[in-house]
Amino acid sequence: MKSMTSEELMRLSNQFIMGTYNRSPLVMREGKGSKVFDPEGKEYLDFISGIAVNTFGHCFPPIVSAVRTQSEKLIHASNLYYSEPQIYLAKRLIELTFEGKVFFCNSGAEAIEAAIKLARKYFSVRDNAARFEIISMTGSFHGRTYGGMSASGQEKLWKGYEPLLPGFKHVGYNDLEEAEKAVSEKTAAILVEPIQGERGVVVPSGTYLKGLRDLADRHGLLLIFDEIQTGLGRTGSLFAYQKSGVIPDILTLAKGLGGGMPIGAMIATNRVNQAFSFGSHGSTFGGNPVACSAGLAVLETLTSDGSLLKNCSRLGELILDQFRKWQVRHSFIKEVRGNGLLMGMELLVEGRPIVLKCLEKGLLINCTSEKVLRFAPSLLVTDEEVAKFIRILGSVLEEIAGS
């Protein structure tokens, strides 16, 4: 096929692909580490990593090797049979989280669907099907399937798709009192993100997750942590919940788990996972051998180098320090926040123009909730790349200040 220019490819995309995404004008052709290249060979520094999916940047050699090796042995098995990578990945995930079992799927939304179904099934098999309601948080994002959309606390996600799946109550994030008032005899579970990524990297108080654990225990509820964005080292610990010392009953993962390969997982304690039995739930592609091999490479890298997570915390704090200096300098920066290499900068102006100016200068960042710049670089980002990021973003913020 004839090699096309970026402009030709974008025109072709607009002709044949549904317009459900507000794409930036960049065609990615190749990627290596924190760098990507367009068809014309222009280099970009990637500080969003496919929205925290490319854990170690683009084409990380151990992941490429794992995918290549497994692809030459067995690409798909279905869940009619056992396959080695799926078994080994499940074993490793349990070793790194808590005693329980894993259900594999293909995405974060599917992991949330599985968690919602398991929470309801848990009470149903105990002859208490009247407990089906799930408390989730305003501003939350749990995916775009009907279950995930209904659980999400953002009207923009569900407007035009009503009626939604019944049985969800939304309460304020970081508000324990409101969560307690929402509990009734129908409540089955509390669903929460340890950090709200899509809302703009909103970090709760240090006692919030423990307060939700206590609330769930007092009322016999299940506690579900959505770590689809915060999991796998992103916040400087293997999982964000581990910083709180609180163990959930159900944990959902995706994004960084495959380091670029599509995979999702739901982990549930032994008390809870027994509600799922043969035929309760399933996924044709879930636990695909190639994706699971990539997941094993991700976990091996995260756990074999003790300095990796420390470096993630160090560089994240370095970037936040710079953000705080900019906040003093530029009155349009409302708040800066984050944990590890997941950071947000809330503005008093629209963020999209800043994203596009950064793109022109060869820096990829993201804007969420219209006024929050979101940053999620590779966990292997270097000091030199952080310095370049600060140089480019700083120059763009100066332009905005002067305009």
For residue 58, give the nearest of 23, 89, 90, 29 by alpha carbon: 29
Phi and psi at residue 279, in whole multiples of 5°?
90, -5
Enter the tokens of residue 69. Answer: 């090796």
Which pLDDT band, with edges at 50, 70 and 90, does 402 fall under? confident
User: Mean pLDDT throughout 177-205?
Assistant: 96
List own/partner pairs for 13-19 with CB under 8 A and 24 or more apart. none
- C-alpha 359/C-alpha 117 separation (Å) is 41
pTM of structure: 0.96
pLDDT at 31 over 80: yes
pLDDT at 2 over 80: no
Percentage of the chain surpassing pLDDT 70?
Answer: 100
HSE-CB of 206 using CA atoms within 13 angstroms: 1
Asked if 184 contacts 167 with a C-beta cutoff of 8 angstroms, the reply is: no
HEC sequence for 240-272: HHHHCCCCCCEEEECHHHHECECCEEEEEEHHH
Residue 306 pLDDT: 83
Enter the tokens of residue 113. Answer: 């669907």
Q: Which residues are catalytic?
A: 141, 226, 255
Contacts of 164 (CB under 8 A, 6+ apart): 146, 149, 150, 158
User: Mean pLDDT throughout 153-173?
Assistant: 96
Q: Which of 11-20, 114-123, 301-310 has the lowest mean pLDDT?
A: 301-310
Residue 18 pLDDT: 97
The pLDDT tens digits for 112-131 are: 999 999 999 999 999 999 99
Residue 346 pLDDT: 97
The pLDDT tens digits for 267-290 are: 999 999 999 999 999 999 999 999
pLDDT at 1 over 90: no
User: What is the enclosing helix (H) or strand (E) of 179?
Assistant: helix 176-182
Asked if 358 contacts 373 with a C-beta cutoff of 8 angstroms, the reply is: no
Enter the tokens of residue 364. Answer: 């990829």
pLDDT at 334 over 90: yes
Angle at CA 393, nearest 5°, toward 391 and 398? 95
Contacts of 78 (CB under 8 A, 6+ apart): 284
HSE-CB of 320 using CA atoms within 13 angstroms: 19
Residue 168 pLDDT: 98
Which residues of 293-371 form beta strands (DSSP E)? 333-339, 342-347, 363-364, 366-368
Residue 62 pLDDT: 98
The pLDDT tens digits for 340-353 are: 999 999 999 999 99
User: Mean pLDDT throughout 227-255?
Assistant: 96
In this structure, the strands spanning 168-171 and 133-137 are parallel
Which residues of 164-312 form beta strands (DSSP E)? 168-171, 187-192, 222-226, 250-253, 264-269
- C-alpha 248/C-alpha 251 separation (Å) is 6
Q: What is the full DSSP assignment across 356-372?
A: HHHHHTTEE-EEETTTE
- C-alpha 324/C-alpha 337 separation (Å) is 9
